[in-house]
């Protein structure tokens, strides 16, 4: 008996030493794969995206995650924007991470994974706007924004309302022929021809195609000028934007463009150190504006700067693609954890939680309007809104301080 008591005493001492400073953590850890691209066309964007992903997930782990007993760890994988690389690495990701969610990069992983995500039961989140060909029911990938077409139509209608003297507004395209660009052209064409032209609000005046990285587009610009275009969409790369501006200067004209924030004004100004060439041009996106430093979104960003390693100069349109993606992903897990508990989280549980209730503007930290996901589409289809930015007097500012609604009569093309 003496020996057994002695043994118990020693065991107690040893255990207490080992457990010194340790709390019995009731935290369930989950790994979240991030399909990144470091060597492909989105490599430049990754510099902005990765710190944002890390910061948002760290913030959530320290706040809601701690309360719920959930900790999420990001694991980055270089997909190289190559569907075969992503397809071959995905089974390993499933085995290694057993993910409950994933963060996607772009078109290549959509191509590689879209058909198998429902079977693998892993919801994937994307920070860019959607495309028409991804507008399919029963998807397990979720876009924080509607299609580029939705966004541009909202901005076009706003522009029409601002310029009643120009009706019908002559809308033109100067676009590349890569599938995403063609998708935008088709979607806009359909809406203009079916909804706006009959009402005398807008008409399609010209469609010109150029290389994706053109040197000179002065010929195409001449055709747009001859067609008396009032607004042009299409320059989706910095090279196209630069060529467009050069062509405008050559012809002594300035036809405003309408694109997404990461495509024209910001990347061009970052290279040329001035916004002036884009005076009067517009960009539109269904997320908070980087020009508004009084917004809830900017206050949230400052928290991430102060405590989670982001820098002030990271407040830009590239970051604004990763921020909404990350916040939606963590809130989706939060919704699911509240329903099923921290230790029973699965991809199916997260998917069910996404469908069950909306994500409010407040819980999305002002980055996005309230999102309502349904099985009809991979993006929210209700109460869509956008923010429109422009360059005025050489400054990058909001074109209008309020969220602009997207019309609800946009149909698939």
Partner 1 sequence: MTIPARIPLQTEYKDQAIIRTQKQWYLFVGFVIFLFALPFFSGGRIIGMMNIIGITAIAVVGLQINVGYAGQVNLGQSAFVGVGAYTAGALTLHFNVPIWITIPMAGASAAVFGAIFGLAALRIKGFYLALSTIAAQFIFWFTMLKLPKSWFGQHEGLRLEPVSLLGFRFDTDSRVYYLIFITAVLMIYGAFSLARSRTGRALIAIRDNDKVADIIGIDVFYYKSLAFFIGAFYAGIAGALWGYYIRFVHADQFTLWLSVWYLGMLIVGGMGSILGAIIGTVGMRLLQELMTYLGPRIVEMQVFSKLGGEIIFASMNMLLGAIIIIFVIFEPRGLVHRLNIIKESYRLWPFPCERR
* Residues near partner 1 (CB under 8 A): 38-39, 43, 46-47, 50, 75-78, 80, 83-85, 87-96, 107, 111-112, 114-116, 119, 132-133, 136, 177-180, 182-183
Q: Which is nearer to partner 1, 101 or 332 (CB)?
A: 101
Q: Which is nearer to partner 1, 137 or 198 (CB)?
A: 137
Residues 6+ apart with CB under 8 A from 272: 242
Q: Which is nearer to partner 1, 84 or 299 (CB)?
A: 84
Beta carbon of residue 243, minimum distance to partner 1 (angstroms, whole number): 21
Provide the token pair at 69. Answer: 């007993």
User: CA 115 to CA 132: how far, in whole Å?
Assistant: 16
Beta carbon of residue 130, minimum distance to partner 1 (angstroms, whole number): 13
Q: Which is nearer to partner 1, 91 or 401 (CB)?
A: 91
Q: Which is nearer to partner 1, 291 or 326 (CB)?
A: 326
Beta carbon of residue 83, minimum distance to partner 1 (angstroms, whole number): 5
Beta partners for 71? 29
Beta carbon of residue 147, minimum distance to partner 1 (angstroms, whole number): 13
User: CA 162 to CA 284: how far, in whole Å?
Assistant: 15
How many other β-carbons are positioned within 10 Å of the β-carbon of residue 160? 20
Q: Which is nearer to partner 1, 135 or 159 (CB)?
A: 135
User: CA 397 to CA 390: how far, in whole Å?
Assistant: 6
- State the pairing for strand pair 258-259/231-233: unpaired
Q: Collapsing DSSP states into helix, strand and coil, what is residue 131?
A: coil
Report yes or no: 174 and 247 within 8 Å, Cβ to Cβ. no
Q: Which is nearer to partner 1, 19 or 178 (CB)?
A: 178
User: CA 216 to CA 29: how far, in whole Å?
Assistant: 53
Using CA atoms, how far residue 398 sits from 285, 320, 364, 390, 395, in Å, is: 12, 15, 21, 6, 10
Indicate the Cα dihedral angle 337, 340, 343, 344, nearest 10°: -120
Report yes or no: 117 and 124 within 8 Å, Cβ to Cβ. yes
Beta carbon of residue 340, minimum distance to partner 1 (angstroms, whole number): 25
Q: CA 118 from chain center: how many Å?
A: 21
Beta carbon of residue 395, minimum distance to partner 1 (angstroms, whole number): 31
Using CA atoms, how far residue 132 sits from 103, 184, 389, in Å, is: 20, 8, 24
Beta carbon of residue 20, minimum distance to partner 1 (angstroms, whole number): 29
- Eight-class DSSP state of 249: H
Q: Which is nearer to partner 1, 180 or 324 (CB)?
A: 180
Q: Which is nearer to partner 1, 177 or 299 (CB)?
A: 177
Provide the token pair at 185. Answer: 């052209």
Beta carbon of residue 182, minimum distance to partner 1 (angstroms, whole number): 5
Beta carbon of residue 223, minimum distance to partner 1 (angstroms, whole number): 21
User: CA 173 to CA 340: how far, in whole Å?
Assistant: 49
């Amino acid at each position: 008996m003496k020996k057994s008591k002695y043994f118990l005493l020693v065991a107690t001492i040893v255990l207490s030493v080992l457990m010194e400073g340790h709390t019995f953590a009731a935290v369930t850890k989950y790994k979240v794969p991030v399909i990144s691209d470091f060597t492909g066309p989105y490599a430049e964007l990754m510099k902005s995206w990765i710190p944002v992903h890390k910061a948002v997930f760290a913030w959530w782990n320290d706040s809601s995650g701690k309360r719920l007993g959930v900790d999420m760890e990001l694991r980055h994988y270089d997909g190289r924007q190559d569907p075969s690389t992503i397809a071959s690495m995905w089974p390993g990701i499933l085995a290694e991470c057993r993910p409950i969610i994933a963060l996607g990069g772009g078109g290549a992983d959509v191509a590689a994974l879209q058909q198998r995500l429902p079977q693998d039961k892993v919801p994937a989140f994307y920070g860019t706007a959607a495309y028409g060909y991804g507008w399919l029911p029963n998807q397990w990938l979720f876009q924080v924004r509607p299609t580029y077409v939705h966004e541009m139509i909202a901005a076009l209608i706003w522009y029409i309302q601002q310029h009643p003297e120009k009706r019908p507004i002559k809308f033109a395209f100067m676009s590349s022929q890569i599938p995403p660009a063609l998708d935008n052209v088709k979607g806009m064409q359909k809406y203009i021809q079916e909804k706006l032209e009959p009402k005398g609000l807008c008409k399609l005046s010209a469609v010109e195609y150029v290389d994706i990285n053109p040197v000179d587009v002065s010929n195409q610009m001449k055709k747009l000028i001859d067609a008396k275009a009032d607004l042009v969409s299409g320059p989706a790369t910095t090279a196209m934007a630069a060529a467009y501006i050069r062509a405008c200067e050559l012809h002594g004209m300035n036809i405003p463009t309408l694109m997404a924030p990461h495509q024209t004004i910001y990347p061009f100004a970052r290279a040329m150190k001035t916004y002036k060439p884009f005076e009067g041009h517009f960009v539109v996106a269904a997320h908070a504006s980087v020009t508004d430093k009084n917004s809830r979104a900017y206050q949230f960003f400052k928290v991430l700067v102060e405590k989670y390693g982001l820098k002030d100069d990271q407040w830009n349109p590239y970051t604004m693609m990763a921020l909404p993606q990350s916040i939606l992903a963590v809130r989706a897990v939060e919704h699911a954890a509240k329903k099923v508990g921290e230790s029973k989280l699965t991809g199916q549980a997260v998917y069910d939680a996404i469908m069950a209730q909306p994500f409010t503007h407040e819980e999305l930290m002002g980055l996005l309007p309230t999102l309502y996901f349904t099985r009809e589409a991979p993006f929210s289809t209700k109460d869509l809104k956008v923010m429109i930015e422009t360059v005025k007097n050489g400054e990058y500012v909001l074109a209008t301080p309020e969220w602009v609604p997207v019309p609800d009569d946009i149909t698939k093309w």
